[in-house]
Amino acid sequence: MALASFVVPTVAQGQAIPITGLSTGIDQITGERPARKNINDLQAARGPSCTDDTKPCLGTNGATRDLYILGLSDLQNKSESDPISYFQLAGIHGRPFIPWNGVENATVVTLAGFCPHGAFASQYENSSSASYKAAAESFRVPYWDWASDYRLPASVIDQRVTVNGPHGKVDIPNPLYSYRWQQFPLNSEAHYFPTDDGNKDCWYWNETKRLPNANGSDQYDAVNQSLADISSSLQDQVYRVFTSAKDYETMASTEDRSSSFESVHDQVHGVFGAVMQNLDYSAFDPLFWLHHANVDRLYAMWQAIHYNNTYQTQVRFAGLLYGTPDANVTADSPLKPFYRGDDPTSFHTGRTAAAMATFGYTYPEIDDWSLSQEETRKAVTAKVNQLYSNGANGVSSAQQQRRRRRQQQAPRKEYFAHVSVERAELQLPCTVYFMLGDEKAGQMSLLSMPMKGRTHGEVPLTRALDRALASDAVAVKGNAPVGDVKLVTSKLRQLFRVEIRKADGTVIPVESVPSLSVEVEGEDVVAASHIGEFPAYGVATRLSGVGFGKLARREAKNRL
């Protein structure tokens, strides 16, 4: 995931392009690296001082935001035939299926982001402003933390944006709003953008779209409502990965029967429909890069906590877009088409790309140059607890610690739905919804790829159960008795159901998906005594007769 911050240097035509680390802005004595910043922080940094058209926008954050917008605009305006244009860099992720960096492609690989640092810095190489020079030195691509603040960033909604250019304020099309195709209509050849693939909202319009209506207008109110609907579930799932995933494969893949960042990543893609929901096209939406930078951030935080387990250790069967299709993949498999900066004849691997330090960046939560590995683990764990634990927002660290001490000897119950399904039986993309009556308790999104193979997911149900039980007469003083397993089981048998819907909202009958299996389990959870530690989970116990699939049907029949 550290390839999320690669630099594409200028090279002679026909020469392999090495993917190098960023060296600017790094303290040569301490090793401190510039941090990627939250896109909302860059937007907020504009502030009152940036509203006066007669004055420059002062301050490094404000200058960084201007550099980012202007640099991204410049990148999008590069000829689509240029290998370091936005078009071709986005195309590495999917369509068009053409070689990049001299490497032929095969199936699919997902990158976490990009940082064309040269394009950004060159915008201001002749500027006399110290703040802009400092911003150029320390720039790293920003991220959107949808798990702590689900609202769509204001920076990506406005069609036009005003920034401070080299010669004063300029009003330009907002490069975070969309990517406008330079050649339109698009090339409809099979390996480019075919018009017979059922993905009309991806290629029909002259720019990328987000949940468009019939007229091609982005429906941002609907997008924000969908994000609001899944916000608590997203937060709970992110926290669950941090607290339960003990190895890299579980954290990163939907092949295991646990929560993973990959599953949560898919849900965010699914909210936007159209381009973002279709992995052949998704990297063309500028929001893709903010989203994937955040996924890279979550990976990096998990790696800082599990510092002895920072890359894949198992052999997995997979296919890579620029590698051998349907082959075994290890930590030493080449990540084509990304040549190493220190050896431009060799490709990066999962092992060489595992560390952020290799690529010259960090995140606000991670200081791994002045702290020991164990100190970093505790510091990042504390940040995770502050950002993502249920009810953490607005609660001070001291309050959290007192609460944990009171609760340490009193386990609580948490409930999770475990789902698995064969993708080939579904019409992709689609979403599996877990319902408590009419309320959506959680969901699992399945994107357009891979088209086959068994996918697993885990969805927290505790918050939804709290609300369902709190409305019952048995609730005492507003505290839902989720610790009463018999009561919870009875409620779930009464209310729990599964829905599957295609991208257009059409229902896929669950009976038509024989591989679908859903089970609900409860776990005892003991709160940590310190904010620098995670809660401890006990052995999971399956709730009889709750869920979907052969086992649930047999148990339901036996109760009759």
Q: What is the CA angle 135-141-142, rounded to 5? A: 100
Closest CA relative to residue 459, chosen from 162, 277, 233? 233
Question: What pLDDT, on a 0 to 100 scale, did the predictor assign at position 553?
Answer: 57
For the four alpha carbons of 424, 426, 427 and 429, in that order, the dihedral sign comes to negative
Q: For residues 534 and 425, state if they share a domain.
A: yes
In this predicted structure, the answer to whether residue 477 has a pLDDT above a threshold of 80 is no
Q: For residues 476 and 546, state if they share a domain.
A: yes
Question: What pLDDT, on a 0 to 100 scale, did the predictor assign at position 327?
Answer: 65
Mean pLDDT for the stretch of residues 13-42? 86
Q: For residues 146 and 21, state if they share a domain.
A: yes
In this predicted structure, the answer to whether residue 308 has a pLDDT above a threshold of 50 is yes
Question: What pLDDT, on a 0 to 100 scale, did the predictor assign at position 325?
Answer: 56
* CB crowding 456-484: b at 16 or more within 10 Å, else e: bbbbbbbbbbbebbeeeeeeeeeebbbee
Q: Would 284 be classed as within a structural domain? A: no
In this predicted structure, the answer to whether residue 4 has a pLDDT above a threshold of 50 is no
Question: What pLDDT, on a 0 to 100 scale, did the predictor assign at position 559?
Answer: 52
Question: What pLDDT, on a 0 to 100 scale, did the predictor assign at position 556?
Answer: 55
Using pLDDT thresholds of 50, 70 and 90, give the confidence band for residue 314.
confident
Question: What pLDDT, on a 0 to 100 scale, did the predictor assign at position 110?
Answer: 34
Question: What pLDDT, on a 0 to 100 scale, did the predictor assign at position 10?
Answer: 52
* 501 in Cβ contact with 507 (< 8 Å): yes
Which residues partner with 347 through β-bridges? 339
In this predicted structure, the answer to whether residue 45 has a pLDDT above a threshold of 90 is no
Q: For residues 337 and 425, state if they share a domain.
A: no
Q: Would 194 be classed as within a structural domain? A: no
Residue 25 or residue 350, greater confidence? 25
What is the Rg, in whole angstroms, of the alpha carbon atoms belonging to the chain? 24
Using pLDDT thresholds of 50, 70 and 90, give the confidence band for residue 401.
low
Question: What pLDDT, on a 0 to 100 scale, did the predictor assign at position 326?
Answer: 59
* 129 in Cβ contact with 81 (< 8 Å): no
User: How does pLDDT run across 63-115, given as a tens digit for each residue?
Assistant: 888 989 999 999 999 999 888 889 988 888 888 888 777 776 643 333 333 33
In this predicted structure, the answer to whether residue 287 has a pLDDT above a threshold of 80 is yes
**Torsion-angle region of 453 (φ positive above 0: left; ψ -120 to 50: alpha; else: beta):** left
Residue 318 or residue 164, greater confidence? 164
Question: Residue 463 carries which side chain, given as an amino acid letter?
Answer: R
Q: For residues 30 and 173, state if they share a domain.
A: yes
Residue 551 or residue 75, greater confidence? 75
Which residues, 6+ apart, have CB-to-CB distance to 377 below 8 Å?
Answer: 304, 305, 307
Q: For residues 440 and 319, state if they share a domain.
A: no
Q: How far is CA 233 from CA 189, 220, 258, 263, 417, in A?
A: 40, 20, 15, 12, 12
pLDDT above 90 covers what percent of the chain?
Answer: 51
Q: For residues 12 and 133, state if they share a domain.
A: yes
Q: For residues 348 and 493, state if they share a domain.
A: no
Axis crossing angle, helix 261-271 with helix 286-305, rounded to the nearest 10: 160
In terms of pTM, does the model score above 0.85? yes
Mean pLDDT for the stretch of residues 362-375? 97
Q: Would 482 be classed as within a structural domain? A: yes
DSSP symbols for 122-138: HTTTT---HHHHHHHHH
Least confident of 97-106, 175-184, 313-322, 487-496: 313-322
CATH number of the domain that residue 155 is part of: 1.10.1280.10
Q: Are strands 412-422 and 347-349 parallel, antiparallel or unpaired?
A: unpaired
For the chain, the average pLDDT equals 82
Q: Would 212 be classed as within a structural domain? A: no
User: How does pLDDT run across 213-238, given as a tens digit for each residue?
Assistant: 999 999 999 999 999 999 999 999 99
Closest CA relative to residue 300, chosen from 398, 190, 181, 384? 384
| Structural domain range at position 419 | 409-559
As a three-state string, the secondary structure of 318-361 is: ECCCCCCCCEEECCCCEEEEEEECCCCCCEEECCCCCCHHHHCC
Task: Show the DSSP H helices in 92-206 as ranges.
Answer: 117-122, 130-138, 200-203
Q: For residues 103 and 40, state if they share a domain.
A: yes
In this predicted structure, the answer to whether residue 312 has a pLDDT above a threshold of 80 is no
Closest CA relative to residue 546, chosen from 468, 493, 510, 490? 493
Neighbour count for residue 428 (Cβ, 10 Å): 18
**Domain boundary, last residue among 365, 381, 398:** 365
User: How does pLDDT run across 493-530, given as a tens digit for each residue?
Assistant: 999 999 999 988 899 999 999 999 999 999 999 998 89
Q: Would 297 be classed as within a structural domain? A: no
Q: Which two tokens stand for residue 232?
A: 């608590």
- Coil, strand or helix at 525: strand
Using pLDDT thresholds of 50, 70 and 90, give the confidence band for residue 394.
very low
Question: What pLDDT, on a 0 to 100 scale, did the predictor assign at position 46?
Answer: 59
- Coil, strand or helix at 109: coil
Mean pLDDT for the stretch of residues 327-343? 76
Question: What pLDDT, on a 0 to 100 scale, did the predictor assign at position 125?
Answer: 32
Mean pLDDT for the stretch of residues 364-391? 95
Q: For residues 29 and 155, state if they share a domain.
A: yes
What is the separation of C-alpha 222 from the centre of its chain, rounded to a whole number of angstroms? 20
Using pLDDT thresholds of 50, 70 and 90, give the confidence band for residue 54.
very low
Question: What pLDDT, on a 0 to 100 scale, did the predictor assign at position 404?
Answer: 52
Mean pLDDT for the stretch of residues 527-551? 88
Q: Alpha-carbon dihedral of residues 285, 384, 4, 253, nearest 10 degrees?
A: -80
Q: For residues 456 and 521, state if they share a domain.
A: yes
For the ranges 47-61, 387-401, 483-497, the one whose mean pLDDT is highest: 483-497
User: How does pLDDT run across 194-204, given as a tens digit for each residue?
Assistant: 888 778 898 99
In this predicted structure, the answer to whether residue 490 has a pLDDT above a threshold of 80 is yes
Q: Alpha-carbon dihedral of residues 324, 330, 332, 334, nearest 10 degrees?
A: 20
Tokens 């860059």 -> residue: 42
In this predicted structure, the answer to whether residue 48 has a pLDDT above a threshold of 50 is no
Residue 226 and residue 408: Cα distance in Å, rounded? Answer: 36
406 CB-contact burial (10 Å; exposed 0-12 / middle 13-18 / buried 19+)? exposed
Residue 284 and residue 176: Cα distance in Å, rounded? Answer: 11
What's the total number of domains in the chain?
A: 2
Q: Would 428 be classed as within a structural domain? A: yes
Q: For residues 361 and 442, state if they share a domain.
A: no
For the four alpha carbons of 333, 278, 299 and 296, in that order, the dihedral sign comes to positive
Q: Would 395 be classed as within a structural domain? A: no
Using pLDDT thresholds of 50, 70 and 90, give the confidence band for residue 165.
confident
User: How does pLDDT run across 104-161, given as a tens digit for each residue?
Assistant: 664 333 333 333 333 333 333 333 356 667 778 888 999 999 999 999 999 999 999 9
Q: Would 424 be classed as within a structural domain? A: yes
Mean pLDDT for the stretch of residues 239-245? 95
